[in-house]
Structures are given as structure tokens and as C-alpha cells.
Structure 1
Amino acid sequence: MTTLLYIEDDEEIGEMVRSDLEGRGYRVVWLKSGEQASANVKECRLAILDVMLPGLDGFTIGQRLKKDHPSLPILMLSARTSIDDKLQGLDFADDYVTKPFHPDELAARIEVLLRRHGETPAGLGEIRIGHLLVKEKEGLVLDTRNQQEISLSGKQFHIFSYFVRHLGQIRTKEQIYESVWGEPYIEGDKTLMVHIRHLREKLEIDPGMPLIIETVRGVGYRVKG
């Protein structure tokens, strides 16, 4: 399991980010100041640092971490949007995300940095879901009853991968559509519903009584895992 160092003193934001990243398969070491950063960073594969912190600010902590661990990818989070602040952060950090941000954007930035530094992002290993074995890194879904590959289109696999990265979490149609298509969801659009139906026809033992992709009436969908 990939471990991330996360330093954020805001309880609400910190809990939201920690919960979301853990739901995606990461282990998160959450600190509320930078005092223990050096003591906790050795086991971590990436550091996420808020700029405004009590005591030492995120820039100072990040510079120290980068000096001691040059290969450690560092992602800065800040409500500061001025070009000077971004340039100051990117002088040592690998990425800079301004608040407010969508959790999917943060997760995508983390994945890019991990891949760039030769690490495997969370959710890219193998996972068993019912009679299915998902090999996300290879882009494969196998039926373990006969060890046959289930042929999915690129969009179908993208949708199912999104569910795999959010196992047990109810995701709304808007969240799924906007993450997979990268466009705003328009109420009444049946595109996602059609793709879900086709996915069930390929993945479920009985598509009429789905056990893999569950419909949460009035909300969205969930894959329990």
C-alpha cells in the first residue's frame, strides 16, 4: 500500500482529504504541523503540504524535505493564487494545486507524480470483486470461474476503474460522468445509464439482478467489493 505524508492544520479539509485518499487505497499519515515531518517521511512515497501552517510554513517544510529526500515528490496545496506564490512553490515542489480543489483532481495529480517517480499509484494492483479479478495496471478484467478475459471498451473499463478506486462508496451520476468524460453532467442525459447497462451485461452473473454494480436509488451507484 502506497503511503502519503499529508500536512494540513484545517480539521475539515484534512479529514475530507484523508478520508477520500484512504478510500482510493492509500495509507495517509496526516500531521497538523510540520514538526514531525522528517520523522514520518521515510515510509512515505509522496508529500502533500498545505502552505499556511502553524509554526513553519509549507514552503519551508517542503524545501527541507526536498533537500533531505531529493527523489520525494512534493505537492503543494494553497489558497494563494498569485503567480509569485506558485513560482515560489514550484521552485522546489513538483506540483502546486490551488484551493478549493475537487478530490478527483488531487487524486489525478498524485497519480501523475507517483508514476513520474516510478511508483505505483493506489488501485493499480490486482483486486478481487465477487467472481471478477481486476488487473487495473494491465487494463484487464478476468472471470475467475473460467479465467477468461472479459472484453470491455475503453470507456467501460474507465467507468469500472472509477468504481474500483471508490470501492464501497456511493458515487452520484454527476461524479461518475464528470470524472470519466471530463465534462459537466447534464441532467437527463442517458449516456452513463446505457454504459452501466452494457457493463452489467458483461460483468454480472445475472444482469437483471446485479451484485457487482449496485444501484442506490435516487443517488447513484456503488461497487461494494
Structure 2
Amino acid sequence: MKGAILYIEDDLEIGELVTEDLQRRGYSVNWQTSSEQYHDGIVEIDLVILDIMLPGLDGFTIGERIRASRRDLPILFLTARTAIEDKLKGLEYADDYLTKPFHPDELAARLEVLLRRFDKTHSDIIQIRHIQFDRRTQQITNLMSQEEIRLTEKQFKIFLYFLRHPNQIMTKEQIYEEIWQQDYIEGDKTLAVHIRYLRQKLELDPQNPEIIETVRGIGYRVKQ
């Protein structure tokens, strides 16, 4: 199976066509025609496809709520709303935005890109030295103490960014612009401060880090 998809679409004809096509391509699809039960089984889902105009809660609201609870879950809006204002609003919560009419091959290609970007084809359990991360529950555990490690929102985003780029040297500019969605200004210590606090929570010895490695003059790397 390629992945488990939550698909919310109230147009029965489109919903049936998309569901059948994705199932033929190897996906497991939970198709719902309203937003009433969108949260059911959300922990087991690898990707969400949302229409915007839905009975009950609209797609924007659902996308915002899903993003708040599952920050690692890719979301794609599939909608007839073509206005630039709608696209910009949708991309506040979603990772891609595709307008109707569309070709099934394009939808499938975008889904594959999202799944690769969020690394959904790998194991749900990632272990880095004494740290274990469960993708499904979003829980980080210190295996030596068996205690849960709690991160702030920014710390968690930085941690996930490293996990999506294992063994790669990520520049300070890349990390800052991804997390803060702003241009990096040379000399800004904001990222360094967050990395320091993140190390205090993750490392056995924050003064001699073994998880988040500093690559002098460039940035950071997390080896897996």
C-alpha cells in the first residue's frame, strides 16, 4: 500500500472517480462526504485531500484544525475555488493546492511528492541514539529514562525539519526561512538560541551534542 488517505469531498461523482483512481494506484482511501467525522482515524492517516466548499465545517477550518493537531501530516486542497485569495488562504494550512478540473495523473504526482517530502514511506518509528520519535503519536521519548520529551512549537518544527533531511547539512538560512517563513538576516541569533534549548532537551550532554551536529560556518546536521 502506498499510503492511507483521508479524502473529504461532497460531490459524489468527483469523489467516486478520485477514490477509485487512487485505489487503483495502490492507496487506501477513506472518503467522507462531510466534515462531521474528519477526526475519526486521523492518527492512522498519511495524507489529507480536502475540498473547501463542504457541508458543515469548510475546508479551511478543517485544514487549520488538522494542522494544529498533526503538524507532520501533508494536506492538499482539491477545489473549484480558483481565486488567488483562496489559494493564499488555503496554503496557510495546506502544503499544496490543486484546482478543478484536474487530471488524475497530476493529482497522483502531487500526492507522491507530498509523501516523499514528509517521508511517509518509511517506518513510523525513528530512533536517533537514545531518542525515539513516533510519527503516529508525535511523541518523542528518551529511551534511557523512558520519559516523554516535550518541545515548544518552534522546537518541534526544527526537529521535524531535521528528520525530513536526514544526514544532510542544512544551512542556517535554509532552516530559518523554512521555520519562520522570513528571510534570514546574517548575525541573527534566533535560530542558535532555539537550537541551544532543543539540545538541552534532546542531548545527554548539551555541551557535547551527538544528535544535532554543528557544521562550522555552514549550519547543522542530524545523522540517522
TM-score by length of 2: 0.53
1:57-83 Cα shifts (integer Å, max 9, x gaps): 011011101101011000001111111
Residues 23-42 of structure 1: pairs in structure 2 closer than 5 A: 23-42=24-43
Residue number in structure 1 paired with 2:75: 74
Q: Could you tell me how far apart the structure 2 residues matched to 1:81 and 1:27 are?
A: 28
Q: Could you tell me how far apart the structure 2 residues matched to 1:10 and 1:31 are?
A: 10
1:6-27 Cα shifts (integer Å, max 9, x gaps): 0001100000000000000000
Runs ≥4 residues deviating over 2 A = none
The letter of the residue matching 1:24 is R
Give the 3-state SS of the residue equivalent to 1:47 in structure 2.
Answer: strand
- Segments of 5+ residues of structure 2 without an aligned counterpart are 123-224
Give the 3-state SS of the residue equivalent to 1:39 in structure 2.
Answer: coil
Residue number in structure 1 paired with 2:10: 9
1:28-70 Cα shifts (integer Å, max 9, x gaps): 0001111111112111100000011001101101110110101
1:108-147 Cα shifts (integer Å, max 9, x gaps): 00000000000229xxxxxxxxxxxxxxxxxxxxxxxxxx
Q: Could you tell me how far apart the structure 2 residues matched to 1:45 and 1:35 are?
A: 20
Residues 144-223 of structure 1: pairs in structure 2 closer than 5 A: none
Q: Could you tell me how far apart the structure 1 residues matched to 2:11 and 2:41 are?
A: 19
CA RMSD of aligned residues (A): 1.1
Q: Could you tell me how far apart the structure 2 residues matched to 1:90 and 1:10 are?
A: 22
Q: Shift in Å at residue 92 of structure 1?
A: 1.2
Identity of aligned residues (%): 63
Q: Could you tell me how far apart the structure 2 residues matched to 1:98 and 1:56 are?
A: 20
- Segments of 5+ residues of structure 1 without an aligned counterpart are 122-225
Residues 36-185 of structure 1: pairs in structure 2 closer than 5 A: 36-120=37-121
Using the TM superposition, name which of 24-33 and 37-46 deviates more.
37-46
Aligned residues: 121
